[in-house]
């Protein structure tokens, strides 16, 4: 038996938005992209989410992003991300995801962010969450600029290849490991571990989860890091895994309070 790990998709799983699109405004402000690029990027992201398991869709998305970034200075991108991270990402981290990550770390598991977004974005987001290990898209760099070629595209089956390589290097027991994602495109990632869970799943993934009796988590509370530290929001992840059970629990609590109120009124 090896060690176990927990692999988290990023967009709509850990944060309540697309990490790549989140930086669109500062990229536009600093002249890296045009208004037309913003629209095309949003469309490419939408197409990937709707049909990301199709190889042609993934290839088109990969090639478009590579062409878009060609000529950008890597250091400029890193600086923009560092300057805007707390404004654009921090307020959108799901409290439930932060709690779940902390629980895995407390149990001695390595936590790994696995995202199709660029490593220059994903790694700082990981540091914000206290996560040092990331699997993300890497662009080829020449003379400090993106060349327009993709060194590694972290999407679909490629995610699993990277997970398997990391597991072999660190002696992870994938049968005892965990994975979380919101998208059907991450089916290979979810199927490669012994404990898959789906988070705010799309329709296809919800159906797949039902067929395989995978836990369905509903994350609904994006809270800035500062508030999480001050208020220590103990969002019950185990309860979230019950899906409909959350609503039942709330109903029971409301009904109990309602009965106590009526009893007190009758006694008075």
Helices (H), 52-139: 55-69, 74-88, 95-106, 119-129
Instruction: Report how far residue 40's alpha carbon sits from residue 63's, in angstroms, rounded to the nearest whole number.
Output: 13
The set of catalytic residues is 9, 11
Instruction: Report how far residue 92's alpha carbon sits from residue 226's, in angstroms, rounded to the nearest whole number.
Output: 12
Question: DSSP assignment, residue 8?
Answer: E
Residue listed under structure tokens 């654009």: 88
Q: Strands 216-217 and 195-199, how do they pair? A: parallel
Q: How many CB atoms lie within 10 A of CB 43?
A: 11
Answer for the pair 85, 128: CB distance below 8 angstroms, yes or no.
yes
């Amino acid at each position: 038996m090896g060690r176990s790990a927990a692999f988290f998709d990023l967009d709509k799983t850990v944060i309540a938005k697309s990490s790549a699109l989140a930086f669109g405004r500062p990229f536009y402000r600093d002249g890296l992209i045009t208004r037309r690029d913003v629209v095309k990027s949003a469309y490419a992201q939408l197409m990937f989410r709707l049909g990301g398991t199709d190889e042609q869709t993934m290839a088109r998305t990969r090639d478009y992003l590579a062409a878009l970034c060609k000529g950008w200075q890597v250091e400029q991108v890193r600086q923009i991300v560092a300057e805007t991270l707390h404004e654009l990402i921090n307020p959108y981290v799901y409290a439930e995801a932060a709690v779940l990550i902390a629980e895995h770390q407390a149990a001695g598991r390595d936590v790994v962010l696995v995202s199709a977004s660029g490593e220059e974005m994903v790694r700082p987001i990981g540091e914000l969450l206290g996560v040092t290990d990331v699997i993300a898209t890497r662009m080829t760099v020449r003379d400090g600029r993106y060349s327009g070629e993709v060194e590694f595209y972290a999407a679909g089956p490629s995610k699993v290849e990277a997970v398997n390589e990391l597991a072999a290097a660190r002696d992870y027991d994938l049968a005892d490991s965990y994975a979380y994602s919101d998208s059907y495109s991450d089916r290979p990632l979810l199927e490669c571990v012994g404990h898959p869970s789906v988070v705010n799943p799309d329709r296809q993934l919800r159906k797949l989860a039902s067929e395989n009796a995978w836990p369905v988590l509903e994350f609904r509370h994006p809270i800035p890091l500062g508030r999480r530290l001050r208020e220590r929001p103990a969002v019950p992840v185990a309860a979230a895994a019950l899906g409909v059970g959350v609503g039942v629990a709330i109903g029971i609590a409301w009904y109990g309070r309602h009965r106590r109120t009526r009893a007190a009124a009758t006694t008075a």
